[in-house]
Chains A and B, each alone.
Chain A
Amino acid sequence: GNSVTQMEGPVTLSEEAFLTINCTYTATGYPSLFWYVQYPGEGLQLLLKATKADDKGSNKGFEATYRKETTSFHLEKGSVQVSDSAVYFCALNPSSGNTPLVFGKGTRLSVIA
């Protein structure tokens, strides 16, 4: 079946530290991969995506590369800010159509000044 595993939080970092949130997946076929961010009390916002192997998604200083050989889509940012404090969800869409996303459990990030 399809599943997403991401590192458990919470992750606490100082401002300007380097961030990595690991995400690995299991899927049949060729899924699309996503990172969503959820700020406190809000819904999910698409952060970045990649639709095929070796694609790199990037947005707001965050990036993630679709690694088929390691079935991974790790999220990275070189220098985090307090405003990046949120919950980050890794997700996959197992097909190219309108199918439900499969989510990881989420990783809570807290950035302190």
Chain B
Amino acid sequence: GAVVSQHPSRVICKSGTSVKIECRSLDFQATTMFWYRQFPKQSLMLMATSNEGSKATYEQGVEKDKFLINHASLTLSTLTVTSAHPEDSSFYICSASGGSQETQYFGPGTRLLVL
């Protein structure tokens, strides 16, 4: 199956710093990538939809200036958590799909801890 990677897998940072998370589709071109956030023992919450070469579409309640998303190529999307605070600590997961495929392939997730 299709492979999606995320980097880093785990990051600890100080409050006020920015953190960039990369999501890559390794063996297919992802026209669309999705960013999710997952709190402990809960389901995934969609944050934004990212289409290559265009601005991301954010879900209601997600601050676009805080969670910057860039999808500059068909294999890479980045999520930057700006001026991170402890409440931003979470598990961030990306998924990718290509062309007309309805199947989404998920990355392994990035665990962010803001101290």
Query: Is B67 part of the binding interface, using a Cβ–Cβ cutoff of 8 Å?
Result: no
The total of chain A residues at the interface (CB under 8 A) is: 24
Residues of B within 8 A of A42 (CB): 108-109
Contacts A32-B102, A34-B103 given; indicate if A103 touches B43 (C-beta within 8 A): yes
A interface footprint on B19-60 (CB within 8 Å = 1, 0 otherwise): 000000000000110100000011110100101000000000
Q: How far is the CA of A108 from the CA of B43 in the complex (A)?
A: 11
Chain B residue nearest in CB terms to A44 = B106
Query: Is A82 part of the binding interface, using a Cβ–Cβ cutoff of 8 Å?
Result: no
- Chain A residues with CB under 8 Å of chain B are 32, 34, 36, 41-46, 49, 51, 89, 93, 95-98, 100-101, 103-106, 108
Cross-chain contact of A98 among B32, B41, B106 (Cβ < 8 A): B32
Could you give 28 example pairs across A and B, Cβ below 8 Å?
A32-B103, A34-B103, A36-B106, A42-B108, A42-B109, A43-B6, A43-B106, A43-B108, A43-B109, A44-B93, A44-B95, A46-B1, A46-B103, A46-B106, A51-B102, A93-B104, A96-B100, A96-B102, A98-B32, A98-B49, A98-B101, A100-B34, A100-B46, A104-B43, A105-B42, A105-B43, A106-B42, A108-B41
Interface size class of B (residues with CB under 8 A): 20 to 34
Residues of A within 8 A of B77 (CB): none
User: Quick one: which of B1, B34, B106, B107 has the most chain A CB within 10 A?
Assistant: B106
Query: Is B97 part of the binding interface, using a Cβ–Cβ cutoff of 8 Å?
Result: yes
Residues of A within 8 A of B102 (CB): 32, 51, 93, 95-97
